[in-house]
Homo-oligomer: A and B are copies of this chain.
Amino acid sequence: MNENKLTWAIIGGGNGGQAAAGHLGVLGFKVRLFDIIPETIMAINKQGGIHVEGAVNGFGKVELATIDIKQAVLGADIIMIVAPALAHKTIAKNLVPHLTDGQIIFIHPGATFGALEVRKVLDDEGCKADVVIAEALSLLYACRASKPGTASIKGIKNDLLVAAIPAAKTNEVVKKLNQAFPQMVSGKNVLETSLNNLNAVMHPAPSLLNTSMIESKHEWKYYWDGITKSVGAFVENLDKERIALGKALGLELPSVLELYKVLYNAEGETLSDAVKRNAAYAEIIGQKRIDTRYILEDIPMGLVPMVSLAKKLGVPCERMETVCKLGSFVLNKDLISNGRTLENLNLHETNLEEFLKYINTGSKAS
């Protein structure tokens, strides 16, 4: 083992966390893994690491798997959070007492405003350590953890946008991440990574418009059956609100239809056509209940922050807002008030200039 190599703490032992830990182990990095499920931890410690198969093959040594977050992060160079966005706040809170100068918190992925939320928690908790927070726009892997200690990596993305808060630190962070992951490239700022969170576009609206299908006796494929002509058309129009929001912030965001072409080589006149030309989507089975992360996470940590920002800037966002409300009503649960709004991030009193300054330099002073 190269003693100059970075030490990574992976926070989260689900599919993505085990894939990342196993992959990093195979690459020869020092790896620790934290999770709250003792069975996962024990299985990994028992075999001393994670078996990885698929796009990466081998045994990735894991120095330590633990349910004690302190042990995982002590001396780590990069703390990689691979967890549901709903858990980011709690994880950040638990990290604070153990953070030290120079560490990087890398949220992989951050959903929308993940880095901003973690930054807010650190500030609220009076964190004194000089750390940089970064987020990726999605998960690097298409993967499944078949059982604790084994990760099946079906695919690795060629490019993955990463940005830090403040943006001035992005290149420095990406340079470090590149030691393990050459796929990671610098985004303009966390607005670019956050507003390219396609889960916000592709999950809540189609799920809600599929409510009866979800609760039916039918087996169905999420994209192939769920993105019907009308569902696809609605999503494309909702996506235009996201793109307009980006424009108002100086970003040229690709449309979801354009991204399908780039990411999956799936072209079509319409979104409904395009998803059917993505062979990988043949395997994605539709959910059998309505209260899943596709709504519970992708509304409060996806659409809600976009709506909050769009309203602040006067950008029309009625489709996104309608989906947020509908999701709250169908699940009979307020998914908006507790979401990542500008208010909840304590950024509602900044104007556009101050907001962009904070995003880019980290300074709130005007």
A: residues with CB less than 8 A from B are 206, 208-216, 218, 220, 225-226, 228-231, 233-234, 237-238, 290, 318-319, 322, 325-326, 329-332
Are A332 and B216 in touch, CB under 8 angstroms?
A: no
Could you tell me if B231 and A332 are in contact, using CB atoms closer than 8 angstroms?
no
Chain B proximity of A193: nearest CB distance (Å): 27
Residue picked from A208, A212, A322, most chain B C-beta under 10 Å: A212
> How far, in whole Å, are A201 and B185 apart by their CA atoms in the complex?
50
Contact across chains for A322 and B319 when beta carbons are under 8 A apart: no
Task: Find A229's partner among B215, B226, B228, B319 (CB 8 Å cutoff).
Answer: B215
Judging by beta carbons under 8 Å apart, are B325 and A329 in contact? no
Pairs A–B under 8 Å by Cβ, sample size 21: A206-B212, A210-B211, A210-B213, A211-B228, A211-B231, A213-B216, A214-B228, A214-B230, A215-B228, A215-B230, A216-B220, A216-B228, A233-B330, A234-B329, A234-B330, A237-B329, A318-B325, A319-B329, A322-B326, A322-B329, A326-B326
Residues of B within 8 A of A318 (CB): 325, 329
- A-B contact sample (18 more), CB < 8 A, given A212-B213, A212-B225, A230-B330: A208-B209, A209-B330, A210-B213, A211-B230, A211-B231, A212-B212, A212-B226, A212-B228, A212-B231, A213-B213, A213-B216, A214-B228, A215-B228, A215-B229, A216-B218, A216-B220, A216-B228, A318-B329
In the bound complex, residues from chain B placing their C-beta under 8 Å from that of A319 are 329
| Chain B residues within an 8 Å CB radius of A230 | 211, 214-215, 290, 330-331
Q: Which residue of B lies closest to A331 (CB)?
A: B230
Q: How many angstroms from the CA of A208 to the CA of B326 in the assembled complex?
A: 11
Distance (whole angstroms) from the CB of A329 to the closest CB of chain B: 5
A138→B233 CA distance, assembly (Å):
34
Smallest beta-carbon distance A94→chain B, Å: 34
The complex places the Cα of A234 from the Cα of B326 at a distance, in Å, of 9
Smallest CB gap from A227: residue in B: B212
- Give the distance in Å from the alpha carbon of A330 to the alpha carbon of B322 in the complex: 11
Residues in B with CB closer than 8 Å to A225 are 212, 216
CA A209 – CA B211 in complex, angstroms? 5
Cα distance, A30 to B164, chains bound together (Å): 81
**Top 10 nearest A-B pairs by Cβ distance?**
A215-B228, A209-B211, A210-B212, A322-B325, A212-B213, A230-B290, A212-B228, A234-B330, A319-B329, A213-B213
CB distance from A5 to the nearest CB of B (A): 49
| Chain B residues near A322 (CB-CB < 8 A) | 322, 325-326, 329
**Least Cβ distance of A91 to chain B in Å?**
30
Q: Would A332 and B211 count as touching, CB distance under 8 A? A: no
Q: How far is the CA of A233 from the CA of B291 in the complex (A)?
A: 14
A330 CB contacts on chain B under 8 angstroms: 209, 230, 233-234
Does the CB pair B332–A237 fall under 8 Å? Answer: yes
Q: From A322, which residue of chain B is reached at the shortest CB distance?
A: B325
Q: A230 to B212, alpha carbons, bound, how many Å? A: 8
Asked whether, in the complex, the Cβ of B228 is within 8 Å of the Cβ of A332, the reply is no
| Minimum CB distance partner of A289 in chain B | B230
Q: Is the CB of A218 within 8 A of B215?
A: no
A212 touches B209 (CB 8 A): yes
Complex CA gap A125/B358 in Å reads: 61
